[in-house]
Structure 1
Amino acid sequence: MPESSSVVVDAPVVRTATPPGGRRAERPGRTRRAGPPDRARRAEATAVPPPRRRWKRRLATLVVAGLLVAVSVPAARFVMAERERVAQEAALARAIAQEADKRASHEATEVQTSRSMSESGRAVAARLLVLATCASTGAQPSGPNGRLPASALCAVPPSGTQLRADAAEAWATLQEAFKKAHGRYPCVNNGYRSYAQQAKMHASNPGMVAPPGTSNHGLGLALDLCTNSDGRAGTSAWAWMDAHASEYGWDIPSWARPGGSRPEPWHWEYVASGDRVS
């Protein structure tokens, strides 16, 4: 029997997947397919693009940058203008609010002043308003006794007593001083009397009332205090009048004083005038 010879046959190399972090192992029975070297692949990946491609990329970058600038500049200007407009409107609103507050404060002060003004204060204001239209200086409008024109007379608040302008102003000043002393105005019964009023009163009481056309009431230069209060001698009001009335041009004639020829302690005349009936 021939001598057996052993034949060695190379097993095929089998290619397996490359494990992570290493080279792929080769299995027997599978032949490895040749590929490009690693160095060649790296060179291809890092290859510099041609000059024409680089120029196109730069141009595209510049175009995009230009578009961004073109859009952002107007937007920035709009934002700045809008902020300025809002700031101006806010400043205007603050100014309007401040002016409104000032006016409201002023009106509130006026209302408070008006409310705090006492009745006497309003009477003083009314008196000043009335007397402002009276010609209390210079030649006084005149006329027959009891027939004075309306322009010659002034109504003195708060009683509304009518007197000639110069006598009215003096009496208004007197009654303010009286009020400081007594806390009220003197009680006045009447002042100017027309001729018809004089005639009527004389007819009803000829012993006490002067004949019509002869009384200082007809000239707007006399008034009567209330006979049951301030016109009574012996009262504090009458005593004050007797002591201070002459300081303001007013006095009681001697015949009307207590103990006079015809006592009328309520009758007072503006003696500062040079044209009264004596």
Structure 2
Amino acid sequence: MSRRAWLSRRRLAAATVLVTLVALAVPAALHVQGKRQAAAEAAALARQITAEVDRRAERESTELRASRSLSTSGRAMAERMRILTDCDSTGDQPSGPNGRLPASALCAIPGSGMLLRADAAEAWASLQEAFKETFGRYPCVNNGYRTYAQQASMHAGNPSMVAPPGTSNHGLGLALDLCTASDGVAGTSAWDWMDAHAPDFGWALPSWARPGGSRPEPWHWEYVASGDRVS
């Protein structure tokens, strides 16, 4: 065999081997590439699923927070007109005479039976429903509306602490006192709740009655939403 023929055979054999190797390598490479692509697609899908789970969790968390908020002061405020169904708190409310409000203008609040002017009674009823959701009970109330005669009697017995008749918000049905041995004590959990949430329902502790005020009475709360209060 001539040298040229031998070289031709060698080249042919080498080419055959190369074609064979390529034929084997290409599917293997495609297989590896397919695995990598499948892995990348799976990772992308996992990220999408995780993101969707996170979004749903955030929505549920937001809805839960909103539900909890609504279950306290929000829900109580939304339902405030349904609490005292026989109490006419709509329309104009009487602003006096102090200590001589007509019986038709007054409503009893649940639990204590204390009287307040209709709009103040509705607001307080809503407040104490929210209070009850936190503490499992209504706040302890020992004073509400006072007639002129009642205010005069109390003032005579304790002139340094009780306002003269005709000058107190009690006589307008816009003030009440919490029990001085329990919920009316500043710093208790009940009082702290009142201090934080009562304004949401139109009730507030006057500056003079706050701890450190000119005449501290942390038990004395007034309905301020009406704008009828006196100092």
Cα distance per residue 1:241-260 (max 9 Å; x no partner): 00000000000000000000
Q: Counterparts of 1:171 and 1:216 in 2: how far apart (Å)?
A: 15
1:255 aligns with 2:208: yes
Question: What amino acid sits opposite 2:110 in the alignment?
Answer: P
CA contact (8 A) 2:146 2:170 kept: yes
How much identity, in percent, do the aligned residues show?
82
The amino acid across from 2:153 in the alignment is K
- Cα distance in 1 between the residues matched to 2:81 and 2:134: 20
Q: Does the Cα contact within 8 Å between 1:143 and 1:149 map onto a contact in 2? A: no
Alignment of 1:160 onto 2:160: no
Measured at CA, do residues 240 and 130 of structure 1 come closer, stay the same or move farther in structure 2, by a change above 3 Å?
closer
Match for 1:231 among 184, 193, 201?
Answer: 184
- Choose from 135, 144, 151 the match for 2:97: 144
Q: Which amino acid aligns with 2:105?
A: A
Contact 1:202/1:212 (CA < 8 Å) preserved in 2? yes
Counterpart of 2:223, as a letter, is: Y
For 2:135, the equivalent position in structure 1 comes to 182
Counterpart of 1:86? Answer: none
Q: Distance in 1 between matches of 2:187 and 2:87?
A: 34
Structure 2 counterpart of 1:170, one-letter code = A
What SS does the corresponding residue of 1:196 show, helix, strand or coil? helix
Aligned-residue CA RMSD in angstroms?
1.5
| Cα offset, 1:143, TM superposition | 3.1
CA shift, 1:130, in A, is 7.6
* Letter aligned with residue 139 of structure 1: D
Q: Distance in 2 between matches of 1:213 and 1:143?
A: 9
Give yes or no for contact 1:130–1:154 (8 Å, CA) kept in 2.
no
Give the structure-1-normalised TM-score: 0.53
1:260 partner letter: G
Deviation at 1:147, TM superposition (A): 0.3
| Cα distance in structure 1, aligned partners of 2:106 and 2:82 | 14
Q: Which amino acid is 1:270 matched to?
A: Y
| TM-score relative to the length of structure 2 | 0.64
CA deviations on 1:103-152 (whole Å, 9 max, x unpaired) are: xxxxxxxxxxxxxxxxxxxxxxxx98882222112101343100000000
* Cα gap change, 1:151 to 1:191, in 2 (>3 Å): same
Alignment of 1:1-278 (within 5 A): 131-278=84-231
Which one has more relative contact order, counting CA pairs under 8 Å at least 6 apart?
Answer: 2
Are 1:188 and 1:223, in contact at CA under 8 Å, matched by a contact in 2? Answer: yes
SS at match of 1:134: coil
Aligned-pair distance for 1:164?
0.3
Cα distance, 1:155 vs structure 2: 0.5
Unpaired runs of 5+ in structure 1? 1-126
Indicate the structure with greater helix content. 2
| Count of residues in correspondence between the two structures | 152
Corresponding letter in the other structure for 2:202: G
Distance in 2, matches of 1:204 and 1:179, equals 34
**What is the alpha-carbon distance in structure 2 between the residues aligned to residue 243 and residue 269 of structure 1?**
15
Max radius of gyration: which structure?
Answer: 1
Task: Provide, for residues 40-91 of structure 1, a one-character-per-residue CA deviation record: whole Å limited to 9, x for no partner.
Answer: xxxxxxxxxxxxxxxxxxxxxxxxxxxxxxxxxxxxxxxxxxxxxxxxxxxx
Q: Gaps (5+ residues) in structure 2? A: 1-79
